[in-house]
Structure 1
Amino acid sequence: MSNASPSAGSIEHRTPTEGTIKQLYGTAWRCGEPTCKKPLYRLNGDTGEYILNSRIAHIHARSQGGARWDPDMSEAANRDASNLIPLCDTHAWEIDQTPQHFTADMLREWKRAQLAEYQTLQRSWSLTDAEVTDVVAASFTTLEERLLRGIHAAAESARQDERRQRQRLLIADTVHAANNWTDALQAVTLSSASDRWNRRAITEWVADNGNAMASDMQLIRSNARKLRLETRYRNLLEALDAAETAVGNPEVFDPIWRGSTTKGEERAAIYRHLNHVKRAFLNLAEIGIKILADPS
């Protein structure tokens, strides 16, 4: 491996095959530098996942002008497992940056020791095809390519952050509209307990509050559609479905609009339903906070 880009017209051998990479990690557990104890994959204590902690280094460079380049070595020999050694990131970088301190004979001795350790301990890494792809990307891309990928990754991260912010705003506005809507219905339910609650009172109340309630409901529906297009989080979508189902039950309010005083048990049923609606939207907000606050 070398960070140097080959010059125009220079030789650059192909990267090792997938089978060779699996063979290399299948016969090693830790970095090939004899005193280094770093495993080829490290455990993330927070997630419990293993993270690539190594790359494949060339004993004789893959590109002309690279560390320990051998002009007489064929491409087949260059990409063979015998010319390759898994090292931790630090030692893979060091042997190519200061090749005068790391001869080919020294690296071949490291490799013999690494294979001997495997024969004794029988500890190694069994790579999936996706993990092989990760190893190739870490091992055989130039510094310029890695920097460009880093720029693309940063841009994608920014897009993800922007998407999460949009989703947070959609949820916040939806929950706010739902609270306004339920508060208005709680007020009208209380008003309907009065002996003066009649058709005229209903008309006056609707004239004062109907437009605002309609706007709140329209915002709830519109934001729900947008949120479904914005997210694939199953828990969030399930909470959204539950909230929309709760708010979409107009028949429970029929006693209010019949033009006569509502009964106590009717108002109690309406209050229970409105509390259910509020809990559903509160649950949506809590799930949104939990999911969208975590970049992972």
Structure 2
Amino acid sequence: MRSAPFRLFELALDELSVGDDGPVSNTSSGARPIEHRTPTEGTIKQLYGTAWRCGEPTCKKPLYRLNGDTGEYILNSRIAHIHARSKGGPRWDPNMSEAANRAASNLIPLCDTHAWEIDQTPEHFTADMLHTWKKEQLAEFQTLQRSWTLTDTEVADVIGASFTDQLKETILSGIYAAAESIRNEERRQRQRLLIADMVYAANSWVDALQIIAISSAGHRWKASDMIEWVNTDSGRAMAQNMEIIKKNARKIRFETRDVDLLAALDVAQTAVSNSAIFEPVWNGSARDAETRMVIYRHLNHVKRVFLDLEEIGIKVLADPPTNGAP
């Protein structure tokens, strides 16, 4: 069974249509497109109707090459953008309108090699340089009057060679971003639950220890009484709550690098592991009121620092603001 992101990828590709205006963005109406639409079929015919060879001035490769075995002409070129049609692409101009971006003046037919090269190493191919190539290509056509007259089928071939891969990459990158957003939300939700379980376990552990402190002092428990209590349901529940605190703390440390959250976790674990809380009860020295008051203060401190941990967790793991939110 295919994974959800790749099923989304297939569905997104199905929504793309190629018409008179070429493939259109699959973004919802009213939203800014991820990228400008591809050139129209008329623009593509115009480009090949005013050029014979690659627009790189020293390149002699024709836009179509002759197959010596079959005598057929095979597409040997692609349409390259001077200013990228995708935000963040080579020589992207944020101030360029979609109409200007998909116009012939922003497009230049190049051989496959140079079309790839200008986008892979854009630092070596400025927009001004490519505009100069464009002018020389048009000037050569005016002199030689040699060009290519494309059929509708050939136009579709040019679109496929020039833009389909870019569309797939854009869609796929968007799906990967969506999948990453889902994973981040799952991570936040998982950490919220880990912290919530820790806080509940700490409160239950504190309540149980407070009851023990009172009972052991009032009934003059001995070591044998404490061992007997440990084996009761209440004793086992208290041990399980401490295990939850330790286990969840390890999981949170494995998943996060947030300084504030880790600092709060350190404080909480230090408080709950303070021997001054449990040892007086265990060794039977919690019978006097002063010792019990020290224990109660420690227990209240434990509850307080776990509450602080919960509040910091809520802040750190809050949902990110949606687009357009303040």
Note the C-alpha offset of 1:244: 0.8
Which residue number in structure 2 is paired with residue 245 of structure 1? Answer: 270
State the match for 1:134 in structure 2: none
**Aligned-partner SS, 1:237:** helix
**Deviation for aligned residue 1:14:** 7.0
Corresponding position of 1:11: 77
Query: Which of the residues 160, 169, 180 maps onto 2:184?
Result: 160
Paired residue total: 207
Which ranges in structure 1 are unaligned for 5 or more consecutive residues? 34-54, 65-73, 86-103, 105-140
Mark the runs of 5 or more structure 2 residues left unpaired by the alignment: 1-35, 45-63, 65-73, 111-117, 132-137, 139-164, 322-326
What whole-Å deviation, never above 9, does each CA across 1:10-37 have from its counterpart, x for those lacking one? Answer: 53477779xxx9xx89xx9x8357xxxx
1:186 is aligned, of 210, 214, 219, to 210
Asked whether the equivalents of residues 10 and 63 of structure 1 are also in contact (C-alpha less than 8 Å), the reply is no
CA–CA separation in structure 1 for the residues paired with 2:274 and 2:39:
67
Match of 2:194 among 170, 181, 194: 170
Task: Tell me which residue corresponds to 2:231.
Answer: 207
The alpha-carbon distance between structure 1 residues 281 and 11, as it changes in their structure 2 partners (threshold 3 A), is: same
- Quick check: 1:60 aligned with 2:106? yes
Give runs of ≥4 in structure 1 deviating > 4 Å: 4-8, 13-17, 55-58
Query: What is residue 145 of structure 2 aligned with on the other side?
Result: none
1:82 to 1:156, Cα distance in 2 relative to 1, 3 A: same
Match of 2:301 in 1: 276
- Displacement of 1:238 after TM fit? 1.1
* Residue 192 of structure 1: how far off its partner (Å): 3.2
For structure 1, which segment, 247-256 or 218-227, has the greater mean C-alpha deviation from structure 2 after superposition? 247-256
What is the alpha-carbon distance in structure 1 between the residues aligned to residue 178 and residue 222 of structure 2?
62
Please tell me whether the aligned partners of residues 39 and 103 of structure 2 are also in contact (alpha carbons under 8 angstroms): no
Q: Using a 3 Å threshold, how does the CA distance of structure 1 residues 16 and 248 change in structure 2: closer, same or farther?
A: farther
Q: Aligned partners of 1:174 and 1:240: how far apart in 2?
A: 10
Partners of 1:151 and 1:179 in 2: CA distance? 42
Q: What is aligned with 1:31?
A: 95
Q: Which residue of 2 aligns with 1:80?
A: 126
Distance 2:247 2:276 in 1: 22
What is the deviation of 1:204? 3.6
Counterparts of residues 93-112 of structure 1 (less than 5 Å): none
Inter-partner Cα distance in structure 1 for 2:213 and 2:183: 45
Offset at residue 150 of structure 1 (A)? 0.9
Q: Tell me, in whole angstroms, the C-alpha distance in 2 between the residues paired with 1:190 and 1:216.
A: 20
Q: Which of 236, 246, 250 is equivalent to 2:261?
A: 236
Q: Which moved more, 1:250-259 or 1:210-219?
A: 250-259
List aligned pairs for 1:97-136, cutoff 5 A: none
Q: What is the CA distance between 1:83 and its match in structure 2?
A: 7.1
Which protein has greater RCO, CA pairs closer than 8 Å, 6+ apart? 1
Letter in 1 for 2:77: I
Q: Counterparts of 2:108 and 2:320 in 1: how far apart (Å)?
A: 38
Shift of 1:63: 4.8
Q: CA deviation at 1:254?
A: 2.3
Determine what percentage of the aligned residue pairs are the same residue.
47
Q: CA RMSD in A?
A: 4.3
Question: What is the CA-CA distance between 1:228 and the residue it aligns to?
Answer: 0.9
TM-score by length of 2: 0.52
Matched, 1:294 2:310: no
| TM-score (ref. length: structure 1) | 0.57
Deviations along 1:86-115, whole A, 9 cap, x unmatched?
A: xxxxxxxxxxxxxxxxxx9xxxxxxxxxxx
Per-residue deviation at 1:196? 3.7
